Structure 1
Amino acid sequence: MEVATPYVYDSGRQVNVLLDGRVAAGDHALLRELGTTTSTAGSKTHFDD
């Protein structure tokens, strides 16, 4: 079962962003709830992620 995340990867900015455009890592409530905003996007382009 895949869990839906409240953010998406913005390839232009190379960060995860919330639906309102804010950087996901800056949302303290989200970080408390999820513990991370990791995506798989970096792993596809960087061997050290």
Structure 2
Amino acid sequence: MSSISQIAARDHVSKAAVSKAVKKMFEKIPDAPVERGSQGQVVRI
């Protein structure tokens, strides 16, 4: 699993761009495996 920051650094894009892509992915695949933080935010994908 990778964090949003790690994916952004690897792909040379902003964290916001990765977050937006992850949000779209979860709309299509709601049961995708993720690790969530205490407030429900996505910590690792």
Q: Which has the higher helix share?
A: 2
Bigger Cα Rg: 1
Higher normalized contact order (CA 8 Å, seq sep 6+, divided by chain length):
2
Q: TM-score, normalised by structure 2?
A: 0.25
